[in-house]
Amino acid sequence: MILIINGYSSKYELESLSNMFFQGARVTVTDEDKRATEAEYIFASFSQEGEEACFFVEVRCKGETRALSQREPWESADQSRCDHVFGQLLYRLLSAATGIAPAWGILTGVRPVKLIHRFRREGLSDPEIRRFLTQECYAAEEKADLALRTADREEAIVALSRPDSVSLYVSIPFCPSRCRYCSFVSHAIEKAWKLIPDYLLLLRRELEETAGIVKQLGLRLETVYFGGGTPTSITAPQLEGLIDTIEKNFDLSSLREYTVEAGRPDTITPEKLQMLRRRGVTRISINPQTLNDSVLEEIGRRHTTAQTLEAYAMARAAGHDNINMDLIAGLPGDDLESFCRTIEGVIGLAPDNITLHTLSVKRSSDLRDAGEDFYRREHVRVTGMLSYATRRLREEDYLPYYLYRQKNTMDNLENVGYCRAGKEGYYNVYIMDETHSILAVGAGGVSKLKEPAGNRIERIFNYKYPYEYISRFETVLERKKGVEAFYTQKR
């Protein structure tokens, strides 16, 4: 599909929205009017006539041509208003042309809940916000409701953060094998294993340096999060070594939460679980993704449901009282019935958190070439899965507390963290809401610095792969000095 944009310089929103209707295909953007030669196209044109801004959108698709236009007072046509008007016109035409009605309407952003926080700050009531989302942005009632409920819980967690708050992310970018849908570990895992001892040595150095910065700047550590990869891929003593370094170098007296994403059940042992508990870890994840063994096999996730159940029982026996379980809707080989069985099975285990992801087909994953047909075929199935899960989790008193969307998710749907009251994963909210700075250590880590009394965000990137991280470690430390520069510059 080709998107022709005429007279309008801000192309991002129009392109993002068009992509939502043609998942798996490529929408090419041009400013050259090729309507006479293209069999199918989207055409968006913007112009000024006197005191008015004129919007015109035309879509030719499946042999039919449809068009809509709108006029707005020129003085109110700032970029946000123009994006909004174009979004509405495009959505209406593309829905009619394709028969697809994305459930989040014209909202293309990663964090729809942030919009709610903003509206509430501006004094809008919840009914007014709901009306805007459903009638102006064409979001489904179900999504508006989910976003509002999520905002309620997020607000309480965000309110705990102070201007000097900071969180720490520790990256363990290793996994026992690579899952088919994963875009993360893109080089041979066997090769990466050999790097672990050197990697951990340097990671501990980066932790020490980071702790020094936190101390010097007088920052207050709120949460620690070990992610990956699969942090429990490394041995219990290796993991404990890192925990040791954190304990010796950071002031943990203000810590609200200490999460280790155990992740793959095939890496979890009683020894690791007991050590984590003993060393003050307050929250872990055990991620089944599905409780259907044939789906696990299909996605190349080399563990079984029996291992998930065993790992969960071991974690409870070790005393873990805040356990998250990640699930994915839309996995290849999964169907609605099997997905519903997974939801029921996980609810039956009664974990404290259930995080429900929608499959996202990343460019570097094995599923990247799935194509347009794949998305069309899966559209109904995935929507049904999320509706079922949303309803059942609500009935079981699981509350949504953070929500985000990713590019290329099936049907442009969302990822939602649900929890029992009082068991929210604070780190998840802080990173999604961009509440305070997250200092990341390790390969693939991205430190996201947030201005204490403003909204300025800066990122510091570590090298993505462990071998780069090891060979260019001095540059990693050099870049970390940017944290001090960021804070001292604004204070």
Give the interface with ligand SF4 as residue ranges (CB under 6 A). Answer: 175, 178-179, 182, 184-185, 228-230, 263-264
Closer residue to ligand SF4, CB minimum distance, 107 or 410? 410
Min dist. Cβ of residue 360 to ligand SF4 (A)? 11
Closer residue to ligand SF4, CB minimum distance, 263 or 466? 263
Closer residue to ligand SF4, CB minimum distance, 114 or 264? 264
Q: Give exposure, 77-107, as e/b (b: 16+ Cβ within 10 Å).
A: beeeebbbbbbbbbbbbbeebbebebbbbbb
Closer residue to ligand SF4, CB minimum distance, 182 or 440? 182
> What DSSP assignment string belongs to 244-279?
HHHHHHS--TT--EEEEEEE-GGG--HHHHHHHHHT
Q: Which amino acid is at 472?
A: R
What is residue 487's three-state secondary structure? helix
Closer residue to ligand SF4, CB minimum distance, 93 or 323? 323
The span from the CA of 10 to the CA of 146, in Å, is 30
Min dist. Cβ of residue 261 to ligand SF4 (A)? 9
Evaluate the CA torsion angle 357, 362, 367, 368 in order and state its sign.
positive
The span from the CA of 415 to the CA of 385, in Å, is 13
The span from the CA of 479 to the CA of 441, in Å, is 11
- HEC string of 87-148 equals HHHHHHHHHHHHCCCCCCCCCCCCCHHHHHHHHHHCCCCHHHHHHHHHHHCCCCHHHHHHHH
Min dist. Cβ of residue 284 to ligand SF4 (A)? 15
Residues comprising the chain, all counted: 491
Closer residue to ligand SF4, CB minimum distance, 228 or 288? 228
Closer residue to ligand SF4, CB minimum distance, 175 or 276? 175
Judge contact between 330 and 383, C-beta under 8 A.
Answer: no
Closer residue to ligand SF4, CB minimum distance, 175 or 219? 175
Whether the bond between 229 and the residue before it is cis, its omega within 30 degrees of 0, is yes
- CA-nearest of 292, 270, 285, 201 to 242 is 201
Min dist. Cβ of residue 357 to ligand SF4 (A)? 10
Closer residue to ligand SF4, CB minimum distance, 264 or 320? 264
Min dist. Cβ of residue 448 to ligand SF4 (A)? 20
Min dist. Cβ of residue 313 to ligand SF4 (A)? 21
For tokens 């006197």, name the residue.
50
Min dist. Cβ of residue 445 to ligand SF4 (A)? 14
- Angle between helix 112-121 and helix 426-433 axes, rounded to 10 deg: 80
Min dist. Cβ of residue 170 to ligand SF4 (A)? 15
Min dist. Cβ of residue 439 to ligand SF4 (A)? 21
Environment class of 51 (CB within 10 Å of its CB; exposed 0-12, middle 13-18, buried 19+): exposed
